[in-house]
Structure 1
Amino acid sequence: MSLQTILPGRLGFGTAPLGNMFRAIPDEDARATVEAAWDQGIRYYDTAPFYGAGLAEERLGQVLSGKPRDSYVLSSKVGRVILDEHETETPDFGEKGGLFEHGNPNKVLHEWTADATERSIEGSLRRLGVDRLDIVWVHDIAQDFHGDAWIQKFEEARTGAFRVLSRLRDEGVIKAWGLGVNKTEPIELTLALDEPQPDGFLLAGRYTLLDHAHALQRLLPLAQEQGVDMVVGGPYSSGVLAGGTNFEYQQAPPEIVERVRKLTELTDKHGISIKAAALQFSLAHPASAAVIPGATRPSRIAEDTAALAENVPTAFWSDLRAGGLVSPAAPLPQGA
């Protein structure tokens, strides 16, 4: 099923920050942020067991479990099973370092087998306090977490998670499944398989104003050809496009800081917010079904909603193209 027929709007809410990504946030701030998303009319919520070892799912569920289940779309992920026992060693998250060091102390089993997939979904439903998920993403079977061993993890998922999720979709238990990754290669490999195909994919950080050329060249033509939709995660490139200092979950390097400076000069020239430019760019590709920025404060939700509705003049997109700040192949809003 096409994601564009499932998702209730083009702006969703990504809950990774609610898992205490980078820093601890109070429970009341997390709850107020989810409530603000609901009050702003957002009806698509994405989460994962990995986000704070279940913390993001728990916090999201505190709000959503009290809402009519048919009134929103919910996605979570498989590949991590949260165990009852506590972690005693520092987890290894590959390139992502101590991404969720402030999350729950539970041990996390990293496994994409059929059994682990079933257990992961059961755990998510329990933490969220709901009876079903609409979309399930196969999480992080890519180089950034596994290095050269990523192909082994992919094969584990192909013979495990992929087949379980295909069956659950065929049985009507879930509406859709796909991959949720930070790299394009696992999605490219999946779309080349002569097996049941995903309905879409969640691509984080690879279709933003700062990083999109590779996806445009390698992945998106194949996805369009097969009618597979994209949810854009991390549209602010880990925060550097929204006033933060992180890019790719780490301190932004000088060349990225300089690109952001040039983008900001251009948005200031046209009197628009850089958030508006970032969100509207990510949604301009025909394969883009939704964009899911994260937030830890209610005010950020209001900013995102306003940014999506903001009137960005065609002249801005023309200047963006002329200044070499966007790939010549990137579709732009209003056909600029």
Structure 2
Amino acid sequence: MALKTILPDRIGFGTAPMGNMFRAVPDEEASATLDAAWDQGIRYYDTAPLYGAGLAEIRLGELLSRKRRDEFVLSTKVGRVILDEVESGNRELGEKGSLFEAGRPNRILHEWTADATERSIEGSLQRLGVDRLDIVWVHDVAQDFHGDDWLGKLEEARTGAFRVLTRLRNEGVIKAWGLGVNRTEPIELTLALDEPKPDGFLLAGRYTLLDHDHALQRLLPMAEKQGVGMVVGGPYSSGILAGGAHFEYADAPPEIIERVRRIKDVAGRNGVSLKAAALQFSLAHPATAAVIPGATKPSRIAEDLAALHEKVPDQFWRDLREAELVSPRAPLPGGM
């Protein structure tokens, strides 16, 4: 099923921050933020077992379990099974490293087999307090691997998670499945397969104002040709485009800080907020079904919704193009 027919709006809520990403978020602050999202009309929520070793799912479940199931769309991910066993010391989370240090201490099994996929879905349903999922993403299947190893993990997913999710979709248990990654290569390889075929993908950080060239070269033309939709995760590039200091889950390097400064200068001259520029750029591509910014403060929800509807003059986009701050191949709002 096409993502655009499943998702209720062009903006959703990404719950990685609810898993204590970067910092320990008090329960009351997390609850207030989720309540604000619901109260202001957000009806698509994306989560994952990895986010705080199940913490984000638990917090989201406290909200959604009080709502009628047909009132919202929910996606989560497979590839990580959260065990009851508590782990001490540093845990190996690849390039996401210490992101969720303040999350739950449960041991995380990284596996994309058929059995692990079914166990992951069962665990997510329990933590979320719901009886079904709408979309399931295969999470980070190639993110933390190099050389032949990540290709082996992708093959594990192809013969395991992909087939399980295809069966569940065909049986009507879920509406759609795809990959949830922050690299384009595994999606390109999956789209090149004859079977199984995903319905869409969640691409984190790779179709933003700061980083979109690679996605435009191969992935997005392939997606458009096959009618496969994209959900844009991390539209603020880990926060640097929303006034934060992080890029790619770490402190932003000098060259990124300078690029953001140049974009800010263009935005300031045109009376445009950086959040509006970021969200509306990501949404302008025909393949994009939704963006899912995250937040840990209730006030951020209103900011995101205002940015979504802010009037951005065409001159701003022309100025960005002239300054070579966006790719000449990137579709821009207004059909530019």
Q: What's the TM-score, normalizing by structure 1?
A: 0.99
User: Superposed, which structure 2 residues align to 1:160-171 within 5 Å?
Assistant: 160-171=160-171
1:98 and 1:190 map into 2 onto residues whose CA distance is: 29
1:167 Cα deviation from its structure 2 partner: 0.1
Show the counterpart of 1:68: 68
8 Å contact 1:94–1:147 — kept in the other structure? no
Deviation at 1:218, TM superposition (A): 1.6
What is residue 145 of structure 1 aligned with on the other side?
Answer: 144
- What is the RMSD of the two structures over their aligned residues, measured on CA atoms? 0.7
Q: Matches of 1:249 and 1:84 in 2, distance apart?
A: 27
Instruction: Classify the secondary structure of the residue corresponding to 2:144.
Output: helix
* Equivalent residue number for residue 89 of structure 1: 89
Structure 1 segments, 4+ long, off by >6 Å, are: none
Instruction: Confirm or deny: 8 A CA contact 1:242 1:275 kept in the other structure.
Output: yes
Instruction: Tell me what 2:187 maps to.
Output: 187
Give distance in 2, aligned partners of 1:145 and 1:24: 24
CA distance in 2: counterparts of 1:151 and 1:116, whole angstroms: 18
Aligned pairs for 1:90-239 within 5 A: 90-142=90-142, 144-148=143-147, 149-239=149-239
Distance 1:99 1:132 in 2: 28
**Letter of the structure 2 residue corresponding to residue 200 of structure 1:** G
Match for residue 244 of structure 2?
244
Distance apart, 1:206 and its partner CA? 0.1
Give the distance between the partners of 1:87 and 1:153, measured in 2 at CA. 24
Report how many aligned residue pairs link the two structures.
335
Between the aligned partners of 2:183 and 2:313, the Cα distance in structure 1 is 31
- Comparing 248-257 and 145-154, the one that deviates more: 145-154
Give the TM-score normalised by structure 2: 0.99
Residue 90 of structure 1: CA displacement? 1.0
The one-letter code matched in structure 2 to 1:145 is: D
8 Å Cα contact 2:158/2:196 also seen in 1: no
Equivalent position amino acid for 1:247 in 2: F
The answer for the alignment partner of 1:256 in structure 2 is: 256
Aligned-residue offset at 1:171: 0.1
Instruction: Assess if the C-alpha contact under 8 Å between 2:236 and 2:278 holds in 1.
Output: yes
Aligned equivalent of 1:40: 40
**Alpha-carbon distance, 1:223 to partner:** 0.5
Q: What's the offset of the Cα at 1:88?
A: 2.2
Aligned counterparts of 1:229 and 1:235: Cα–Cα separation in 2: 16
CA distance in 1, matches of 2:95, 2:47: 21
What amino acid does structure 2 have at the position aligned with 1:89?
A: G
Match of 1:304 in 2: 304
Aligned to 1:291: 291
| Aligned mates of 2:121, 2:14 — CA distance in 1 | 18
Q: State the partner residue of 2:2.
A: 2
Aligned-partner residue type, residue 212 of structure 1: H
Q: After TM superposition, give the deviation of residue 27 of structure 1 in Å.
A: 0.4
| 2-structure distance, mates of 1:286, 1:165 | 25
1:175-202 deviation per Cα after TM superposition (whole angstroms, max 9, x unaligned): 0000000000000000001112000000
Q: Distance in 2 between matches of 1:36 and 1:249?
A: 25
State the alpha-carbon separation in 2 of the partners of residues 155 and 32 from structure 1: 41
The residue number in structure 2 matching 1:271 is 271
Counterpart Cα distance in 2 of 1:271 and 1:34? 30
Over the matched positions of the two proteins, sequence identity in percent amounts to 76
Match of 1:320 in 2: 320
Q: Distance in 1 between matches of 2:160 and 2:233?
A: 25
Q: Which letter does structure 1 place at the counterpart of 2:258?
A: E
- Residue type of the alignment partner of 1:63: L
User: Could you say what secondary structure the match of 1:50 adopts?
Assistant: coil
Tell me by how many angstroms 1:40 deviates.
1.0
- Once residues 37 and 316 of structure 1 are traced to their aligned partners in structure 2, the CA distance between those partners, rounded to angstroms, is 29
Q: Secondary structure at the match of 1:198?
A: coil
Secondary structure of the 2:324 match is coil
**Can you give the 5+ residue segments of structure 1 that lack an aligned partner in the other structure?**
none
| Residue 222 of structure 1, CA deviation | 0.3
Shift in Å, 1:146 = 2.1
Distance 1:68 1:269 in 2: 45
User: Unpaired runs of 5+ in structure 2?
Assistant: none
Is the contact made by 1:188 and 1:219 (CA closer than 8 Å) also made in structure 2?
A: yes
What is the letter of the counterpart of residue 178 of structure 1? G
What is the CA–CA distance in structure 1 between the aligned matches of 2:94 and 2:51, rounded to whole Å? Answer: 15
